[in-house]
Amino acid sequence: MYHKISCIQMTSGNNVADNLKQAEKWINAAVAQGAECVVLPEMFALMGVEPAVMLQHKEIMGSGVIQDFLAKMAAKNHLWIVGGTLPIASSDENKVYAACLVFDNYGDCVARYDKMHLFDVKIALSGETYSESNQIIPGDRITVVNTPFGKLGIAVCYDLRFPEMFRHMHDAAVEMIVVPSAFTYATGLAHWEILLRARAIENLCYVAAAGQTGVHANQRKTYGHSMIIAPWGNVLAVLPEEQGIVTAEIDLAAQRKIREEFPVILHKKL
């Protein structure tokens, strides 16, 4: 059985209302292409000039402008939406969770994943420094949710560099992994496609990665190249650096056949 999946690529800025308007535009375009599921990029609703801006727009789980938008768009279009990430309040008033919420085609939130691996790095190539742990509390568990298009696992951006996380998803019978991201341009140029294809090949599953692109209000430059990858590692569709959508068909029957004929996971020794 075939299913259409779309990834949205954005250059999100400092204004939530403007970002949501752009997201709505691309969601509608994906629906027009027959998408059953849409994946938004990390921080799709807000990439502030200062990281602390997210604290001003944090939402309580189950209530807020961004969550209301995602629920409305899902129900209106009878569409599953993977809501990138948004700041969800924690018990620490100075920190939030970077939460990826999944809404079903009735507009109900059916899953939540809190970004587990936080981007605290210095990038010598570009001179950039990031300290996500200053504002974000890491999650502590993987998320795999049942959907009409297979078991869906969620990872966010920097998570991509930790293959053991994806092995745990495979143990939960994952069939497609979504990766909302805001990969830096320097690291994206070097590693983005390689890592995405490796995660697909290692686990013989589909990977749908939605990225931020371009130069943002905080002068951060992101890599774009949102793509959808098949279980054998071939890239089905990619959008280089412009804003827009990328759509591909996934075939779960073919994926299961590959796993039966090439049972590499059953051969692991460690």
Average pLDDT over residues 209-219: 94
Q: What tokens were used for 100?
A: 């990826």
> Which residues are catalytically annotated?
42, 115, 157
Compute the mean pLDDT over every residue in the chain, rounded to the nearest whole number: 95
Query: CA 7, CA 147: separation in Å to the nearest integer?
Result: 17
> Which residue spans within 25-164 are E strands per DSSP?
37-39, 80-82, 86-89, 96-103, 109-114, 120-123, 128-131, 144-147, 150-154
- Max CA separation in the chain (angstroms): 51
Domains of the chain as residue ranges with CATH: 2-267 (3.60.110.10)
Per-residue exposure over 131-147, b if at least 16 CB sit within 10 Å of its own CB, e if not? ebeebbbebeebbbbeb
Q: Above 90 in pLDDT, residue 161?
A: yes
Q: How confident is the model over 22-41, as pLDDT tens digits?
A: 999 999 999 999 999 999 99
